[in-house]
Amino acid sequence: MTSAATTVRPTRRVQSPILEALTIVGLVGIAWVHILDLSGKMEETPYLGFAYIGLIAGCAAAAVLLARRDRRGFVLAGGLAAATFLAYCLSRTTGLPAATDDVGNWTETLGVWSLVLEGAVVALSAAALTGPARRSHPADGS
């Protein structure tokens, strides 16, 4: 007699503490850049201010996941950083709805720091997610 048992797949743990730590530092940097620009953005374009708040909260959530050694933190971190990088590029080329003042303004200091940090977080996340899968084996050797 056989029985079908449903197994819950545990979340894969991060096996690269260096990538994890560097990604957390990058997330803190991204959040900090957007905190510094938040008050001005809330006054100029409130919907972007609320997007900043969502980004900051997302960075905090991704950092918590990574601190708990959960690989989903890399997925969230990479996605947030890539989306923010894209939004910055759009704001400087075509402009965003009700926000065209920054078209062509590629040298704003906070913006440049943001791009550097976002690029680093995307690269680190991609490296962590595409690197060799290291599985931990149970202590009993099975």
Q: Are 77 and 128 in contact (CB under 8 A)?
A: no
User: pLDDT: is 107 or 135 the higher one?
Assistant: 107
How high is the pLDDT of residue 16?
80
Which one-letter amino acid corresponds to residue 77? A
pLDDT tens digit sequence for 71-121: 999 999 999 999 999 999 999 999 999 888 889 889 999 999 999 999 999
User: pLDDT: is 5 or 115 the higher one?
Assistant: 115
- Would you say residue 25 has pLDDT above 90? yes
How high is the pLDDT of residue 56?
98
Report the C-alpha gap between 51 and 34 in whole angstroms: 10
Q: What is the three-class DSSP state of 140?
A: coil
CATH of domain 17-129: 1.20.1270
